[in-house]
Structure 1
Amino acid sequence: MSTHLNRHGRSTSDHRIIKYFRWLLWISLSLYFLSSYLITHSTKSTSLFKTTMKHNSVVSHALLDAATNTSSTQPSISSGLGGLKIYVYDLPSKFNIDWLSNERCSNHLFAAEVAIHRALVSSAVRTLDPWEADFFFVPVYVSCNFSTVNGFPAIGHARPLLASAVELVSSAMPFWNRSQGSDHVFVASHDYGACFHAMEDVAIADGIPEFLKKSIILQTFGVNYKHRCQDVENVLIPPYISPVKLQSMLGVAGATTNERDIWVFFRGKMEVNPKNISGRFYSKRVRTDIWRQFNDNPKFYLRRHRFDGYQSEIARSVFCLCPLGWAPWSPRLVESVALGCVPVIIADGIRLPFPTTVRWSEISLTVPESDVGNLDDILEHVAATNLSIIQRNLRDPSKTRALMFNDQLQRGDATWQVLNALSQKLNRSHSNKSQ
């Protein structure tokens, strides 16, 4: 068999082998540099996550490690979510973790913005490749400094902070501009959600910031009638209740027992004169009417002053009043469900989170605001008819799970419910449209 030599004196077969090895070397180097980029990016994101976690003393070391190994820790969590992929922007700390110097920020009723961020960073649905992402999560904490020292709402920093974040992501990466933000997700976990103001009249007048009108807002505010502050693509979420504190209280109070010695419970702001110093009527006078009507009724355990251990009182109660405050929703909704107390919702037109999972009509009562004067008769009637059925439904652990945010994603929990809702909106994903 003859051997052909090229002009360098090498055989043709030798030349092919050299070409093959050159090609193999080029592929290897390309993969090396790509993996180096991904590892660097992953390390940076993990560093952000671990820095965030340092501000929460109850988080375990196992949770910190989970951020480094998302693909192997939660293989079953993402099942049922349609292969959903979320890219989490690694924003400068001034947009999020710097706010956590105030410990209250990661524990108060508005802390869903923090919990969702933490859960996504360590979840199996997170992708480090933005080109394959269905949605983009923009972690800006706007509710951390929600209340001033004197207790009055203060959220004037929200709009400029969000605008700055949008300017950054739109200038640094191409994904905002290609969709005008329609596949980008934000959290608005305070009173009037996407309007970013605590007073309804001002919130309505201000409206939703123009730059967010095409995005998806995860917000606690929701009503079943037309309202300017929900006139945006949104997912309704529950307020934040610390699962760690709740479990600790359950262990101390023995709340799983049937010993409930309080018939009707409410502790919270109930002004004798409903007109607030702001000139507005707090709770549309509902809480004032409850106080005036039932303060002297021995069946009603009503308290106007704060008490850190109030969850132990909920655990002892049969009915827990959940009247509106400035906004319709209340953290008492979640606390009551978790602690087995029947929520009595008094907020006309309220829209409740995750209704396909949490069938609210089976675990709660709804009383019109105009009927608060008849609460005693209404609750006595329920007690004589279907109270035991409602209480049995409340014992279903899936209801509590769906309303609780955990620092690490759990199947069926509140963040999982958010992801499930997003999986129903894949028509907004640029990735989905390009296929």
Structure 2
Amino acid sequence: MSLDIKRPISNKTKKKKTGFIFQMQLNHNNREGNNKRNMFIVFFRHYYRWILWFFLSLYLFTSYFTGDQPSPSTTTTSLISNLKTSSSLPSHALIESSAILKPSHTSIFNGMKIYVYDLPARYNSDWVTASDRCASHLFAAEVAIHRALLSDFSVRTLEPEEADFFFVPVYVSCNFSTSNGFPSLSHARSLISSAVDFVSGRYSFWNRTRGSDHVFVASHDFGACFHAMEDMAIEQGIPEFMKKSIILQTFGVNYKHPCQEAEHVVIPPYVPPESVQIAIDRAPAKGRRDIWAFFRGKMEVNPKNINGRYYSKGVRTAILKKYGGRRRFHLNRHRFAGYRSEILRSVFCLCPLGWAPWSPRLVESAVLGCVPVVIADGIKLPFSETVRWPEISLTVAEKDVKNLRKILEHVTATNLSMIQRNLREPAFKRALLYNVPMMEGDATWHILDALSRKLDRSYRRSRVLSQ
């Protein structure tokens, strides 16, 4: 009997076959993995911006709702406490971040872009070269805004085709040719007209909109009417070629007036930030406000001058006659270079109208912590849409000047401490001063914020929407 014994299949053979199959699968998987990797790389190259934007937005969104958010009241109380204890460093009041600021718009402003025309020096920088006062006097907002825009590339564009607005930098308040040292505006209309001829002859942007997306500064008594006397300003009116443009002007009233019959933004008069800082630095660390009501400036004993016009509508004369020599009123008709030190010592700073309703005293008082008492019927204060003026100032009707003492005594007995506390908030101070380069929340920042709400005038935007 034969016995057939079947040998088992060798493991080696199995291993070889299995190894071969495994290798084939591995090579196949590698090729498939490479293809997928290549597809991923191509996809990422094309869409990485969207992917990064999605995750960044998701992070910011979740951070907002899950982060520890201090309550506004706690933050404001803390800020005021810090200001009270930092008397040795008074400059902080002008530069610290404030809890009451709105979220930053500096880099976006709804995506707004501004093109700054590069005009020949005869329209701007030559005037500064001729006189240092050009960049530092109360009408110098035209210089400060121009310089701030040149230094800010979050809004400025070097490509005019990308611009929503076009800034025309003409300095018309720097001609100090008059005997009294005040600027002469007699050349203003011809100088700006020449600048418009220049830009319209070299660019197509003015002609396509008749200047409706172009921005000018008119930092004078009656804005783009370019005259210091109201009757003459009204008679001359705004030049026809500027009536379609946007005017940044210190003049503003809450009633119909020929000198604001153009799209405009009311801006603060210019007060040099460095002069404010010097006054603060020189003040005693624990200085006391020992002047109750303060005013220094022109006050006519006889209000009717040689031209037959009444300066300040007689308001300043009424103040002088009623309160001159009174113990609690510090009134002075003469100039004094260190008058900001007097503001730092004062509780109330009177801001009556002059020829025009506005005054640099408004800014100086507010940033130096003295309660501005605005005496100018119908005045429209700068950035009134965003700056809460009723919380940091008083308004007294011109006819009520005779009751001024009683009005101030009533405020002293009721809500003076609240107004003074509000005045210490850095955001209020910052909104009234121009910085170069621009700072978040300063005067130029608020101007850009106001312009961003006028983007319906942008030719570029209207073209995009119509396509």
TM tier, smaller: 0.7 to 0.9
Contact 2:174 2:183 in 1 (8 A): no
Q: For 1:180 and 1:87, how far apart are their aligned partners in 2?
A: 16
Match of 1:115 in 2: 144
How far apart, in 1, do the equivalents of 2:194 and 2:118 lie?
14
Counterpart of 2:201 (choices 159, 167, 171) is 171
The residue correspondences of 1:352-367 to structure 2 (distance < 5 A) are 352-367=381-396
CA distance in 2 between partners of 1:81 and 1:141 (Å): 26
Work out the CA distance in 2 between the residues paired with 1:417 and 1:398: 11
Counterpart mapping for 1:251-290 below 5 A: 251-254=281-284, 257=286, 259-290=288-319
- The percentage of aligned residue pairs carrying the same residue is 68
Distance in 2 of aligned mates of 1:257 and 1:133: 50
Distance 1:233 1:318 in 2: 37
Matched residues in 2 for 1:146 and 1:136: separation? 28
Aligned partner of 1:308 in structure 2 is 337
**1:68 paired residue number:** none
Cα offsets for 1:291-333 (capped at 9, x unmatched): 1111110100001001111011000000000000000000010
Which residue number in structure 1 is paired with residue 414 of structure 2?
385
Q: Work out the CA distance in 2 between the residues paired with 1:181 and 1:257.
A: 52
In structure 2, the residue matched to 1:97 is 125
Cα distance in structure 2, aligned partners of 1:319 and 1:95: 40
> Does the CA-based 8 Å contact 1:357-1:399 persist in structure 2?
no
Q: Which moved more, 1:201-210 or 1:277-286?
A: 277-286
Q: 1:84 aligns with which of 112, 128, 134?
A: 112
Query: SS at 1:82's partner residue?
Result: helix
Q: Quick check: 2:299–2:316 contact (8 Å CA) kept in 1?
A: yes
Tell me the SS of whatever aligns to 1:319. strand
Quick check: 1:245 aligned with 2:253?
no
| Partner of residue 204 from structure 1, selected from 219, 225, 234 | 234
Q: Tell which structure's C-alpha radius of gyration is larger.
A: 2
Mapped contact 1:134–1:426 kept (Cα < 8 A):
yes
Matched residue, 1:368: 397
TM-score norm. by structure 1 comes to: 0.81
Could you say what secondary structure the match of 1:434 adopts? helix
| Aligned residue runs from structure 1 range 42-191, under 5 A | 78-100=106-128, 101-124=130-153, 125-145=155-175, 148-151=178-181, 154-191=184-221
Change (3 A) 1:86 1:359: same
Matched-pair contact (CA < 8 Å) for 1:223–1:351: yes
Q: Distance in 2 between matches of 1:330 and 1:431?
A: 37
Structure 2: distance between partners of 1:212 and 1:225: 21
Shift in CA distance, 273/153, structure 1 to aligned 2, threshold 3 Å: farther
In structure 2, the residue corresponding to 1:109 is in which secondary structure?
A: coil
| TM-score, with length taken from structure 2 | 0.75
Evaluate the alpha carbon distance shift between residue 153 and residue 288 of structure 1 in structure 2; reply closer, same or farther with a 3 A threshold. farther
Aligned pairs (5 A) from 1:214-229: 214-229=244-259
Counterpart for residue 427 of structure 1: 456
Distance 2:304 2:182 in 1: 14
Task: Determine the C-alpha separation between the residues in 1 that align with 2:162 and 2:324.
Answer: 58
1:213 is matched with: 243
Q: 1:381 to 1:426 in 2, by over 3 A?
A: same
Classify the secondary structure of the residue corresponding to 2:303.
coil
Q: Residue type of the partner of 1:402?
A: A
Closer, same or farther: CA 152–395 of 1 in aligned 2, 3 Å: closer
Gaps of at least 5 residues in structure 1 are 1-75
**Deviation at 1:245?**
1.0
* Counterpart AA for 2:167: F
Worse-superposed segment, 215-224 or 271-280:
271-280
Shift of 1:278: 2.6
Could you tell me how far apart the structure 1 residues matched to 2:403 and 2:373 are? Answer: 13
**8 Å CA contact retained: 1:119, 1:408:** yes
In structure 1, distance between residues paired with 2:176 and 2:352: 21
Moved more, 355-364 or 186-195: 355-364
Q: For residue 337 of structure 1, what is the aligned residue in structure 2?
A: 366
| Mapped pair 1:235 → 2:262 | no
Q: SS in structure 1 opposite 2:232?
A: helix
Query: Structure 2, unaligned stretches of length 5 or more?
Result: 1-103
Detail structure 1 runs of 4+ shifted over 6 Å in the superposition. Answer: none
Q: Is the 8 A contact 1:78 1:84 kept in 2?
A: no
Q: Deviations over 1:348-388 (max 9, x none)?
A: 00000112331111111100101111111110111001100
Instruction: State the 1:78 CA deviation.
Output: 2.7
Comparing 296-305 and 355-364, the one that deviates more: 355-364
Is residue 221–residue 227 contact of structure 2 (8 Å, CA) maintained in 1? yes
RMSD: 1.3
- CA gap of 1:138–1:152, structure 2 versus 1, over 3 A, is closer
Q: Is the 8 A contact 1:146 1:155 kept in 2?
A: no
Q: Give 3-state SS (helix, strand or coil) of 1:411's partner.
A: coil
Cα distance, 1:79 vs. partner?
A: 3.1
2: CA distance, partners of 1:358 / 1:418: 12
